[in-house]
Amino acid sequence: MVSSPSDTEVPLLLQVYLNGVLQKVAALPNDGEPNHVTVHLSRNDIAPGFNLIRIVAQRTPDEGNCRSLPPAYPIQITSNSYLVSSRMVKEPREFRDLGAWFASGVDIYVSNADSKSITGSLELLSTLISHNGYTFDAGKVHFYSKDKTISPKNPFIAIGDVSMELEKSGVQFDKGRIRIVDDKGEVLLDVDRLPRVTISQLVRTDDTYGLWIMSKGDINLANDRKLLLDNDSVAFINEDGLLLSLDPDQKTVSTVDYPDHKSWFDRLGRYSFWFWALLWLMLTLVVVHLYSKSRQHRNI
């Protein structure tokens, strides 16, 4: 970067923005020589699709109170400037990582069970691609029946009611009714009581990761609704857009709850107070018994 020297002692301030967020401020030397400036872009400010980098160079006016115009001096970004990009994650952990994960190609699996639900899911997929800037080549499109188990080997998008062996999924549909509760147990979202809710989630199989879109029906997303999926890995969507998103691994704010599916450990949790009270009583009795035995032994 080269800037012309100034006849004042006020330095030229270089400001670099990424998507409107300030990334770096640097004062350039007033010597007219080429200067090298390195800017590290924050990962949290990088959008999943398209990004805008803006460079602003300013000098403070010599006089305040708007008594003089800001000085104007030529500045040039030299031809040997470059932008270094790299794959930020080896494996996707949230929605924002899917753009890079899908770049090498995607297999799409489409269920032929319910045409209305599939139509809604395909329309939603089109919206997600356009709003989040996903760019990929669809390697293969597979149509399958509900009773057939699929085994993706490459990055994939599954649409509809699928049967596949998953190592990890934020929402499990085989556990009945789905609710989202906060850390106090209050219900934030009861999925089954709302019509036409689509669940989009990042899932993992034995070999790869993919996006699973499960729709309950047709979704007519309004044209003015922006549907951006960013930090989390599970999203609940209806015709109004994004209802709620969460990361199942971060259970401090909200968690997925299945009220119709309770394990023995969950049922035991209802009686945890009495369990610990009984355990404490038993330990107390054991200590008292051992103490009395030791006293008897000393007396003998």
Does residue 136 sit in the same domain as residue 230? yes
Number of domains in the chain: 2
Asked whether residue 116 is assigned to any structural domain, the reply reads yes
Does residue 174 sit in the same domain as residue 242? yes
Does residue 145 sit in the same domain as residue 107? yes
Does residue 66 sit in the same domain as residue 132? no
Asked whether residue 290 is assigned to any structural domain, the reply reads no
Global model pTM greater than 0.75: no
pLDDT of residue 201: 92
How far apart, in whole angstroms, are the C-alpha atoms of residue 224 and residue 232? 23
Asked whether residue 247 is assigned to any structural domain, the reply reads yes
| Cβ–Cβ < 8 Å for 157, 211 | yes
Does residue 154 sit in the same domain as residue 256? yes
Asked whether residue 158 is assigned to any structural domain, the reply reads yes
Does residue 65 sit in the same domain as residue 121? no
Q: What is the pLDDT along the chain (300 residues), one digit of tens a residue?
A: 888 887 777 778 889 999 889 999 988 888 888 888 888 888 777 776 678 899 888 877 666 666 666 666 788 888 888 877 766 567 888 888 888 788 778 888 887 765 666 666 677 777 777 777 776 666 678 887 777 888 888 899 888 887 888 888 888 888 888 888 888 888 888 887 777 788 899 999 988 999 998 876 666 665 556 777 878 899 998 878 888 899 888 877 788 888 876 665 555 555 666 778 888 889 898 888 887 877 776 665
How far apart, in whole angstroms, are the C-alpha atoms of residue 9 and residue 298? 92
Asked whether residue 192 is assigned to any structural domain, the reply reads yes
Which pair of structure tokens corresponds to residue 266?
């969950």
Asked whether residue 197 is assigned to any structural domain, the reply reads yes
Does residue 72 sit in the same domain as residue 99? no
199 CB neighbour count, 10 Å cutoff: 18
pLDDT of residue 204: 93
- Residue where a domain terminates, one of 48, 76, 104: 76
Does residue 43 sit in the same domain as residue 169? no
**Alpha-helical regions (H) of 80-231:** 98-101, 115-132
Q: In terms of residue numbers, what domain contains 102? A: 95-264
Does residue 100 sit in the same domain as residue 218? yes
Does residue 109 sit in the same domain as residue 136? yes
Q: Three-state DSSP class for 26?
A: strand
Does residue 190 sit in the same domain as residue 45? no
Of the candidates 210, 209, 175, the one whose C-alpha atom is nearest the C-alpha of residue 191 is 175
Asked whether residue 271 is assigned to any structural domain, the reply reads no
Of the candidates 235, 158, 247, 156, the one whose C-alpha atom is nearest the C-alpha of residue 197 is 235
Asked whether residue 86 is assigned to any structural domain, the reply reads no
22 CB neighbour count, 10 Å cutoff: 13
Token pair 């610990």: residue? 276
Which pair of structure tokens corresponds to residue 167?
């190592």
Does residue 150 sit in the same domain as residue 47? no
| Cβ–Cβ < 8 Å for 16, 57 | no
175 CB neighbour count, 10 Å cutoff: 14
